[in-house]
């Protein structure tokens, strides 16, 4: 049987469409204090290089001028057809961890025109990257810690792989010491002064569920999901000892450190700003709610500022000039908008 629309139905349909598209039907108007820069595709990671933010998106790289965080300006974008989960800038080159697509090396000497230089596939799924002595240290998800000789980036050479029981989500290098966040395995510490033969130092206690880690001198911070932020001291032998923990707002996904201030991203729970000048007695200074469907993930700090990747919402900037009274900063001339990417984008 075939159905047709009768002419008299069109006025009714037009009226319904007008109602659905009206501001009243769209719900309450977003506050002008929304501090979210909307992006057409999901933002997975954010890295600062001077006044520029390099955003890892679900389709490649986006470079934004954040010299004035209130008015971020798009500089350029590089479509790779691959999700960029982490970005590391080394001089004029950016190393992009692109999941199952491996690693891309991009020339960013001219931020307005980034140029792909090389690409190599690890055979796994790269979630994070650090560099040490002409070697790339890769968080390779289910495979573990993968080390590649990149003295000649055109011909990268596999060096070694240290397996993990669960998944390697992130890593952080401080000098020759490397901390790895490995989910239910927790946080492990290595000495990589000889990248071909990393020395396993210890596993930090009570870090099961580790999603992210920061290592700075004798201080180790681990974002451990519903276990919150775990704070450890690390001795000269590389043994970690927990000294405190901070319960999460929802689930601690990422941690960033600048001086004595740590910022923990809690997904849709927002951000925690924590004073760790006395690591044994951390003090939560403030909590930052994010608007709409924003979910704080990868976060980086610059003097007085916190920038967070917010997935499909884009990224936000928080003024931390007064850490106990942070302020979301509005990107002017841009409406708040969420666009969910189509399948396959």
pLDDT in tens, 90-119: 999 999 999 999 999 999 999 999 999 999
Q: What is the pLDDT of residue 70?
A: 87
Mean pLDDT of 318-341: 66
| CB distance 253 to 266 below 8 Å | yes
For residue 9, report the phi and psi dihedrals to the nearest 5 degrees: -80, -20
Q: What is the pLDDT of residue 210?
A: 97
Q: If DSSP codes are grouped into helix, strand and coil, which group holds residue 36? A: strand
Sheet holding 115-120, edge to edge: 86-90, 93-97, 103-107, 115-120
pLDDT band at 151 (very low <50, low <70, confident <90, very high): very high
Mean pLDDT of 296-308: 94
Compare 26 and 68 and report the one with higher pLDDT.
68
CA 230/CA 307 separation, integer angstroms: 22
DSSP state, residue 11 = H
| CB distance 309 to 5 below 8 Å | no
Compare 19 and 169 and report the one with higher pLDDT.
169
Q: What is the pLDDT of residue 61?
A: 97
The helix/strand count (H/E) of the chain reads as 1, 29
Show Cβ contacts of residue 5 under 8 Å, excluding neighbours closer than 6 positions.
Answer: 13
E-state strands within 58-101: 60-65, 73-79, 86-90, 93-97
| CB distance 46 to 56 below 8 Å | yes
Mean pLDDT of 244-255: 96
The pLDDT mean for the chain works out to 86
pTM for this prediction: 0.83
């Amino acid at each position: 049987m075939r159905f047709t629309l009768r002419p008299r139905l069109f006025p009714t349909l037009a009226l319904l469409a007008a109602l659905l598209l009206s501001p009243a039907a769209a719900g309450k108007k977003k506050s002008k204090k929304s501090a979210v820069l909307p992006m057409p595709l999901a933002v997975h990671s954010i890295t600062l290089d001077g006044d520029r933010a390099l955003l890892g998106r679900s389709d490649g790289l986006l470079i934004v001028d954040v010299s004035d965080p209130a008015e971020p300006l798009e500089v350029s974008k590089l479509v790779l057809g691959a999700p960029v989960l982490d970005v590391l800038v080394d001089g004029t080159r950016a190393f992009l961890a692109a999941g199952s697509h491996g690693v891309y090396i991009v020339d960013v000497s001219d931020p307005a025109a980034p140029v792909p230089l090389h690409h190599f596939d690890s055979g796994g799924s790269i979630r994070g990257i650090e560099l040490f002595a002409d070697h790339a240290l890769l968080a390779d998800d289910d495979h573990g810690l993968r080390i590649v000789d990149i003295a000649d980036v055109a011909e990268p050479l596999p060096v070694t792989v240290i397996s993990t029981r669960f998944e390697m989500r992130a890593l952080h290098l401080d000098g020759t010491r490397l901390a790895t966040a490995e989910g239910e395995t927790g946080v492990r510490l290595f000495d990589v002064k000889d990248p071909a033969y990393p020395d396993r130092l210890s596993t930090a206690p009570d870090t099961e569920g580790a999603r992210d880690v920061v290592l700075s001198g004798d201080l180790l911070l681990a974002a451990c999901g519903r276990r919150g932020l775990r704070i450890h001291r690390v001795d000269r032998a590389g043994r970690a000892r927990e000294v405190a923990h901070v319960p999460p707002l929802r689930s601690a996904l990422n941690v960033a450190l600048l001086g004595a201030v740590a910022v923990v991203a809690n997904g849709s729970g927002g951000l925690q700003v924590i004073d760790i000048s006395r690591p044994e007695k951390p003090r939560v200074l403030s909590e930052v709610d994010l608007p709409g469907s924003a979910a704080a993930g990868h976060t980086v700090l610059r003097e007085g500022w916190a920038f967070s990747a917010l997935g499909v919402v884009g990224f936000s900037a928080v003024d931390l000039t007064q850490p106990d009274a942070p302020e979301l900063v509005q990107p002017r001339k841009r409406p708040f908008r969420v666009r969910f990417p189509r399948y396959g984008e």
